[in-house]
Amino acid sequence: MEGFKIDSSKKGIDTPDVEELKVQEQPDNQENPISNIHGLSLEELNDVNKIRISISDTSAPVIVLFGPASCGKTMTLVRLSRYLQGQGYQLIPDRTFRPSYDENYKNLCDNFSSIVNSDDAASRTDNISFMLVKVVKDGRTICQILEGPGELYFDPSKARQDWPTYVHYLLNNTNLRKVFLPFVEPNFGEEETRRNYVSTINQLKQNTDKQKYVFLYNKIDLTPFVISPGKVHINHALHQVEMDYPDIFARFKNTNPITSLWRANNFEFVPFQTGTYTKPAAGSLVYIQGSDRYPQHLWETLLRCIRG
């Protein structure tokens, strides 16, 4: 598959300046929608189908954080990483995930611990474009968490997305066990944007035991469904998502006449909050992490999906 590297044998706070790559002029002088993605080569910037990633470990399940730009994927990765470190897990960036020319990715790997533990929120969201992190316990890789740029997952103007080659690989590679985390949130976009996002989520659905789905309702603190930190009216929140995103769960209903008696849906649903963000009079956005109950619930749900 040209432009995509797969090795079947087997993503900082202080990042040095990297020479800016100039993008060839787009037709009709249109702005390149991925020109803000750090670390891409000139070839990749001019053709998203040339974007190269490498997943060397095909035995550990891949948790794919999936959603539009600015939906909270990066901070979810940070919050979950903080929680897991506190539980004795190791979070190890996979340095082979991006090619060696991606100096931004190399610096992210070098400074990943600083990224996770810093309270400077902007340094993360500004610099993390791609990230593949292994979650390790007692020397064993439990799973891999993958974050990719939201611009490559969802174009609000399109009902059907033109995903680049690497996304199709994630969907179609039968050697990889995958858990997709589609992000939803309150007050997201106009009606047409939400409907297009539902169509995008439907593109993910495949009838295979190797692909599972966890809908993550991020920014739950902006809803009236929180009883106390980490305690949420789940059924009310689920109903609200169905109201805001019509038919979003339609393709994920359990139609099996037997198992549907005790399991109505072929997905999990997790409310989530990364924390709070304050803007001092001088300086960048400050991040204060939220209750551990949110990442705990998310991790327990992911473990159920991983273990089947």
User: What is the β-pairing status of strands 231-232 and 226-228?
Assistant: antiparallel
Question: Does 98 fall in a domain?
Answer: yes
Question: Does 44 fall in a domain?
Answer: no
Question: Does 276 fall in a domain?
Answer: yes
pLDDT at 9: 41
Question: Does 32 fall in a domain?
Answer: no
- DSSP conformation letters of the chain: -TT----------S----PPPPPPPPGGGPPPTTTT-TT--HHHHH-GGG--------SS-EEEEE--TTSSHHHHHHHHHHHHHHTT-EEEE-TTSS-TT-HHHHHHHHTHHHHHH-SBHHHHHHH-S-EEEEEEETTEEEEEEEE--HHHH--TT-SS----HHHHHHHH-TTS-EEEEEEE-TT-S-HHHHHHHHHHHHHH----TTEEEEEEE--GGGSTTEEETTEE-HHHHHHHHHHHSTTTTGGGB---TTGGGT--BSSEEEE---EEEE--SSSSPEEEE--THHHHHHHHHHHHHHH-
Question: Does 277 fall in a domain?
Answer: yes
Question: Does 116 fall in a domain?
Answer: yes
| Nearest CA among 53, 200, 194 for reference residue 129 | 53
Give the tens place of pLDDT for each residue, 80-98.
Answer: 999 999 999 999 999 999 9
Mean pLDDT of 174-190: 94
Mean pLDDT of 160-185: 92
pLDDT at 280: 80
pLDDT at 129: 86
Residue 15 has pLDDT above 50, yes or no: no
Number of domains in the chain: 1
pLDDT at 123: 60
pLDDT at 30: 53
Task: Tell which wins on pLDDT, 3 or 198.
Answer: 198
Question: Does 45 fall in a domain?
Answer: no
pLDDT at 118: 83
Q: Which residue range(s) make up the domain with 273?
A: 56-307
Task: Tell which wins on pLDDT, 300 or 286.
Answer: 300
pLDDT at 260: 85
Please tell me the pTM assigned to this model: 0.86
| Packed helices 73-86 and 293-307: angle between N→C axes, nearest 10 degrees | 90
pLDDT at 27: 44
Residue 18 has pLDDT above 50, yes or no: no
CATH number, position 100: 3.40.50.300
Question: Does 106 fall in a domain?
Answer: yes
Confidence of residue 122 (pLDDT cuts 50, 70, 90): low
Task: Tell which wins on pLDDT, 116 or 31.
Answer: 116
Look up tokens 């037997």; give the residue. 258
